[in-house]
Structure 1
């Protein structure tokens, strides 16, 4: 698998820029060639990849009816919630916004988990750095901040339990946060957010499909139940949109089941552990941090053990290949 050949994807960063450009904001690329709009809602269903929706289309007829061949794209890298949502709000790839996984090195001794905004030492004998202020973590001005300064009204509808989290404060700058106690409140909150006398963009986030997938597996009874909820929610939002408003639906990543016989367990592989200080990220995209300077030897061992089904890159090769976008 060669992820360096995928860096031209439109991605969630460019979807964000396209939405803002279609709403009239200046300085953004309309890569998706969206028609002009005065009000747009983007509903993101966490974990609902294209193939999953195709496979379970009969359980989500409203969402399935929205599928278009030209609407299939790669969200960006790594395809994990923390990085994808940051790309969507910032209009930047992970190499520019800096959230490069569900966990990653903050410095030589510490890793940060952005969804919980918590830090831990790589090894028990090391001190670790406290988590930085979330509002200052993404250094460039985000796309939402730029568009908001131009007069666009940007809102985010999310479960109330996330509304004041550090991660929310880190990535949703430039947006009014509208916390909902349940998904039943989403359609009305979206309608209100778009019923303003200005170009308006409302981002709505559905979390529970991904949660069910991690606990019970994609395609499980619990997962299908949440897919049906997401389908009804999307239809309810659509039915209550103000006149002239547009609904778009996307996901931050897909999901698949794993054959346990094919899983490579780092904790049971002494050859992979050699010269490695720590691993971070999730199973979709691991960051491997080395204890020493034997990069070539470690790369060779990992490539030999994992084979062609994995892409094992040095940091320099990943950056040069555009895996993380602009860095």
Structure 2
């Protein structure tokens, strides 16, 4: 949808309280890989999730498998249903792949690793960069995120392997936050599962990171309530059964996700660039459709922008300035100023099932996406932690 009339004011325009920050350090996706490393006996890590000791761990990250989604379709996933639940975890903020994978891969919070969304402003060049692809050649992933990764640290002590699609081996995101150890690429669900099993050798301590992106791709294209999404879930469950029933002794599998998802109907997909009053004073937009970041022109008051967006959208969104998000802990404790410089001055977060686009910057193609995430609803932020 485009134009001023695409969404009416939904409420009084009064502020709506922002949900609490993710439980960084105790119950977030950032504690999964570090806890597995600690359970393997790798020094320097804390087992915040109290995982049992083992000789080998497989950490499975299923892109887009929110725990609230899974609870509604458990009948389609007997292997997932049979696992021991470690309770819900929180996705990172914003609840999107690049941010949560960076927390998983580095063990640090968003304010410390600086991967702050799908699209992120590079303040050195005033250029918006897609964190999942098409990084400019001048932007070095190791300079963008220079801290050692969990895989790098773990590889110094145990056999460390990533199993994923071959196209991710040299991606900028991998080099920034998931570098370290060996990379084993395989196409297709069963091939990847077979390759993961091949890495688990008796008598050898090891950590296997197993990334699964098929579910998320289907959800974005057709929605998580679609038959296609259920079919992708059944394929995932079948592959997991092959994995967990063929594990060598003293091997554990822990599964989590990077975010959940909400389906947004066509009438809820809104072009904010077609509303001049909203874009007044906005220099750049970044983020994602349910977690839009507004970078303002010098001298423009963030509070004034918040007021105008609140008047337009009412309680259909949560609105917060960067300083408010820092104060509430959404980027984690003690964020680094250099990393915060990448964050928008104002954040617009979907509370109802809407998605906001800057079509002038992004074009119309993203408007076709059904499944969305990035915001702070339980549907998007709650992810599972399962153990076999």
Scaled by the length of structure 1, what TM-score is found? 0.89
The 3-state SS of whatever aligns with 1:71 is coil
4+ runs deviating over 6 angstroms: none
Greater share of helix: 1
Contact 2:169–2:183 (Cα < 8 Å) also in 1: yes
Contact 1:3–1:323 (Cα < 8 Å) also in 2: no
* Structure 2: unaligned runs, 5 residues or longer: 1-15, 336-388
Residue of 35, 40, 53 corresponding to 1:36: 53
Residue of 35, 59, 62 corresponding to 1:18: 35
Q: Tell me how far apart the structure 2 counterparts of residues 256 and 309 of structure 1 sit (CA, whole Å).
A: 14
Contact 1:18–1:31 (Cα < 8 Å) also in 2: yes
The 3-state SS of whatever aligns with 2:183 is strand
Q: How does 1:1-327 map to 2 (within 5 A)?
A: 2-3=17-18, 5-9=20-24, 10-66=27-83, 68=85, 70-107=86-123, 109-119=126-136, 131-149=138-156, 151-195=157-201, 197-294=203-300, 295-326=302-333, 327=335
The 3-state SS of whatever aligns with 1:311 is strand
* Alignment CA distance shift 1:131-1:215 (3 Å): farther
Q: Tell me how far apart the structure 1 counterparts of residues 138 and 291 of structure 2 sit (CA, whole Å).
A: 22
The 3-state SS of whatever aligns with 1:313 is strand
* Alignment CA distance shift 1:302-1:131 (3 Å): farther
Measured after TM superposition, the shift of residue 286 of structure 1 is: 1.5
The 3-state SS of whatever aligns with 1:297 is helix
Q: Tell me how far apart the structure 1 counterparts of residues 216 and 265 of structure 2 sit (CA, whole Å).
A: 19
Deviations 1:256-282 (A, max 9, x none): 112444455312332211111121111
Q: C-alpha root-mean-square deviation of aligned residues, in Å? A: 2.0
Deviations 1:37-92 (A, max 9, x none): 21111111111111111111111111122263x42111211111111111111111
Q: Tell me how far apart the structure 1 counterparts of residues 221 and 108 of structure 2 sit (CA, whole Å).
A: 30
Contact 2:129–2:135 (Cα < 8 Å) also in 1: yes
Q: Tell me how far apart the structure 2 counterparts of residues 67 and 273 of structure 1 sit (CA, whole Å).
A: 48
Q: Tell me how far apart the structure 1 counterparts of residues 261 and 72 of structure 2 sit (CA, whole Å).
A: 12
The answer to which structure, 1 or 2, has the higher relative contact order (CA under 8 A, 6+ apart) is: 2
Q: Tell me how far apart the structure 2 counterparts of residues 255 and 229 of structure 1 sit (CA, whole Å).
A: 19
Scaled by the length of structure 2, what TM-score is found? 0.76
Measured after TM superposition, the shift of residue 309 of structure 1 is: 4.2
Corresponding pairs, count: 315
Contact 1:83–1:94 (Cα < 8 Å) also in 2: yes
More off after superposition, 154-163 vs 135-144: 135-144
Measured after TM superposition, the shift of residue 308 of structure 1 is: 3.5
Q: Tell me how far apart the structure 2 counterparts of residues 21 and 93 of structure 1 sit (CA, whole Å).
A: 18
Contact 2:94–2:117 (Cα < 8 Å) also in 1: yes
